Structure 1
């Protein structure tokens, strides 16, 4: 995680008040977490840190595009994504991150690494069902969809009114009781 040191915020040297931080998140950010569901990533993350005398309040917001594969067709497409996250940092005897909205840092800490929070915010802002917009409006042309269309069972008009004679023989078994 040494490559994530750019996400360290040294809060000890900051004055009491609000401070703005901005990050451009790309695919290499997710490679450090070994997360490979995204083909490409272009997300801007804004972090507003409000330093108070006894705690820190962080507001994360993200906005951008993530190129992912559709769950139905496996075709790549760009998914708009926006996310937000609030985090309160307090100081105590030992490190504690059990609560997702509250982080307790030991009294001697001088910085906070926000990479994990950015990662979770972006991953959780992606829809669980990923559907290519071309499927919804019918404009997607894909080899997979064409093959499925070709292999779909055809119903002909001449057979739609007739019943297979084998079913009639089976129906006799029900009436022969």
Structure 2
């Protein structure tokens, strides 16, 4: 007869310590690489302005999945968005004018299936300078005196998400038919709770109570 010995508490603690140490080492090795990868992807969105002359300067951005993957909380993972940015450098501030258009993948509220949602919009942000960084308003940003660049990646991330409609529904096709996934609609219909018909006798009793 073989007797199995119960692992000692010291052995269990040692195993847990080993797993924790191993996980921590993996995190320490992976985290800097991830941060560096994200930083490299977003580097084109850091616009230097100290060397620019007064007046208008044009920038183009083609935003895709690589951009959205840089933000952990993103609801959008697939998309093709074109951004035309006009940076106007004035004596004491910058004016950023964004023209955004394209499409992003979202989930339809009706059939719970992905579809490409067209988006389009324009935004203007005023960049001023002060003693410290401050988001003074939705369209006013304060940068510390001596700043030489402005990061527009977070602005674009917010603008694109705000352009997605609150109610997300498949667009109708050329014949006016809804583009929803029919199989999903049938499944959702089967899973939806069915209304139980009310016995008319209850209506009579309720009426008697009211009277």
**TM exceeding 0.5:** yes
Unaligned runs of 5+ in 2: 1-37
For 1:13, which of 51, 61, 64 is the aligned residue?
51
For 1:29, which of 56, 64, 67 is the aligned residue?
67
Tell me if 1:78 matches 2:111. no
Matches within 5 A, 1:1-177: 2-3=39-40, 4-134=42-172, 137-138=177-178, 140-149=180-189, 167-168=200-201, 171=204
Specify which structure has the higher proportion of strand.
1
Residue 60 of structure 1, CA deviation: 0.8
Q: What is the CA–CA distance in structure 1 between the aligned matches of 2:186 and 2:114, rounded to whole Å? A: 17
Residue 151 of structure 1, CA deviation: 6.8
Number of residues paired by the alignment? Answer: 168
Q: What is the CA–CA distance in structure 1 between the aligned matches of 2:94 and 2:49, rounded to whole Å? A: 9
Report Cα offsets for 1:108-153 as digits up to 9, x if no partner.
1111111111111100000011011259734534222123455786
Q: TM-score, normalised by structure 2?
A: 0.69
Q: What is the CA–CA distance in structure 1 between the aligned matches of 2:132 and 2:142, rounded to whole Å? A: 7
Q: TM-score, normalised by structure 1?
A: 0.81
Unaligned runs of 5+ in 1: 155-162
After superposing on structure 2, the runs of 4+ consecutive aligned residues of structure 1 that deviate more than 4 Å are 148-154, 172-177
SS in 1 for 2:69: helix
Say if 1:131 and 1:170 are closer, same or farther in 2 by CA, change over 3 A.
closer
SS in 2 for 1:98: strand
Specify which structure has the higher proportion of helix.
2
SS in 2 for 1:24: strand
Residue 13 of structure 1, CA deviation: 0.5
Residue 81 of structure 1, CA deviation: 0.4
Q: What is the CA–CA distance in structure 1 between the aligned matches of 2:104 and 2:93, rounded to whole Å? A: 33
SS in 2 for 1:44: strand
Cα RMSD for the two superposed structures: 2.8
